Structure 1
Amino acid sequence: MIQELRRIWTAPLPWLLVLGPTALNGVLALFQRRYGPERYWSFVGQFWDKLGLAAVAALILTVCLSLTDRDRSCQTESLMLTTRLGRKHLFLRRLLACALCPFLLALLLSAGNFLCGLTLSGGLSIPENWAASYLGHTLLAGVGGSLLALAACGLCELFRSLPVAFLLTAVVLVFSTLAPDLKGEPLDLYILANGFFAKLIRGRALTGWASYSPPWGWEWCLWGPWHLCLTALCVGWAVRKRKERNQW
């Protein structure tokens, strides 16, 4: 797994996904401090709503899926299939690396955004309980990114196609992100908005038929196991297909 992580983080793209959104949010924070300083720290804390989500999604759709499909793209799959245990261990190591990578990215993004916001704050004091809420959002984003990465890699292995996994993950994530944040919406939109990783990565309060205070609340008793089961279904189905193809 260490080797796979090293392969990921020695590439320039993950670091661009750290520096780019952090720098862009810093520029927007400058305008916020100048024209609305009373909402400055609130703006900094909303990093995961757009830029953070985009960065984690980009990492999963490019780096993680590419790592899962590496044997087929490099035409070394036939060589790996000649080993009895290597193919199984390699698959599991790559799954673990793909799960850990978005979590590490979330921590780096969060630290970079906080340090950038602190540097540009111009002496504006941090509101009470802001740090605890920001840490909660960061942890939710990291866990959501890890679960989505596992699910996406499972789909990639299941269909043996990077484009199919890319399109399925991207479409579900886009529709989940664009679903309305309104209370009392229809059940189908409520499930779409909260059940497919976007809200989790955004570190947002779940929306629906109950009042809810971010980042924790009773609705996680439902949606937490739901996300775990959805991820386990994708990975378990991929493992079953590998066994049927005698690749386990």
Structure 2
Amino acid sequence: MKTECLQYFKNPYYWAVIGLGLAARAGLTYLDFRYRSPQFWELAADFWNKTGSITMGFLILLVMIRRFSYDMELRTFPIINSTAYGRLPLFWNRLIGGEVAVVAAVLLLYAGNTGISCLLGSKMGMSYDWTGFFTQATVAAFAGSAGYFALSAMICDLSKNHPVAMCLCGLPFASSYFINVDAVKPPDLFWFLRYGFFTELLRGRTIGSFPVFWSVWYAALIGLTFFFVIQKRKERKEL
């Protein structure tokens, strides 16, 4: 697991995406400081709603899940699969290592946004509960990022095709940003697109619309996807 975990951190694109996300946040923070100073800390606390969640979405889809189709792309899959380590243990190690890298990325973005906001907003009065509010949003982003990575990684493992997995996981993720929460009514299609694919949690929000249902939905979604992964691996003789 340590080896697979290090592979994520050694990937220069992992750091490039995080760096670009924080650079974008620094630019937006400066604009907020110059032109929207009364809402400065409110906008800083809303980091996960746009910049943070988009950064994590790109990081997971463009960089991290590629590990699950990497062997097929390099045509080393038959060699890897011929060893005991190249079967289910490798899948578990990549999945756990990826979750560690997801946690590290969320922490880095949390620390980066806090540092940038405090640096530029040091002369503005920070509200007493800002840190608590932002931390609470970050906990939701943790849960959303971990779930979204697990689901996307398993779909990539099923398809063994990174572009296909990006499209299948990216379209419902992106569509949530264009759906007005006030315009959706359960249980229509837009309601499912808004809440059904971890995007709401990734945006640092707890789900207020039927939270128990969505807890069961997320557990079932990941559980069923894992079931299909195991079944597909049995067909490929990868267990």
**Shared topology, TM-score over 0.5?**
yes
The residue identity in structure 1 corresponding to 2:172 is V
Q: What does residue range 106-117 of structure 1 map to in structure 2 within 5 Å? A: 106-117=106-117
Structure-1 residue corresponding to 2:105? 105
The answer to whether the 8 Å contact 1:88/1:247 transfers is yes
Deviations 1:133-154 (A, max 9, x none): 1111112112211111111111
Q: What does residue range 67-146 of structure 1 map to in structure 2 within 5 Å? A: 67-146=67-146
Give 1:155 deviation, angstroms. Answer: 1.0
Bigger mean CA deviation after superposition, 85-94 or 163-172: 85-94
Distance 1:100 1:173 in 2: 21
Deviations 1:150-202 (A, max 9, x none): 11111112223222211101111111232212166353222221111110100
Structure-2 residue corresponding to 1:206? 207
Distance change >3 Å, CA 100–CA 55, structure 1 → 2 = same
Give 1:118 deviation, angstroms. Answer: 0.3
Structure-2 residue corresponding to 1:216? none
- Helix, strand or coil: the match of 1:32? helix
Give 1:108 deviation, angstroms. Answer: 0.6
Bigger mean CA deviation after superposition, 177-186 or 35-44: 177-186
The answer to whether the 8 Å contact 1:18/1:105 transfers is yes
In structure 1, the gaps of 5 or more residues are: 209-218
Distance change >3 Å, CA 89–CA 205, structure 1 → 2 = closer
Structure-1 residue corresponding to 2:36? 36
Distance change >3 Å, CA 203–CA 104, structure 1 → 2 = same
Give 1:34 deviation, angstroms. Answer: 2.3
Superposed CA RMSD in Å reads 1.8
The residue identity in structure 2 corresponding to 1:108 is L
Which of 231, 235, 238 is residue 244 of structure 1 equivalent to? 235
Structure showing greater relative contact order (alpha-carbon pairs closer than 8 Å, 6 or more residues apart): 2
Structure-2 residue corresponding to 1:224? 215
The residue identity in structure 2 corresponding to 1:176 is S
Distance 1:220 1:185 in 2: 15
Number of aligned residues = 238
- Helix, strand or coil: the match of 1:187? coil
Deviations 1:88-125 (A, max 9, x none): 21111011122232222111101101001000103212
Distance change >3 Å, CA 23–CA 81, structure 1 → 2 = closer
Deviations 1:24-73 (A, max 9, x none): 21222222122222211111111111111111111111222211111111
The residue identity in structure 2 corresponding to 1:45 is A
The residue identity in structure 1 corresponding to 2:148 is L
Distance change >3 Å, CA 130–CA 5, structure 1 → 2 = same
Distance 2:73 2:101 in 1: 21
What's the TM-score once normalised by structure 2's chain length?
A: 0.92
Question: Segments of 4+ in structure 1 off by > 4 A?
Answer: none
Distance change >3 Å, CA 205–CA 88, structure 1 → 2 = closer
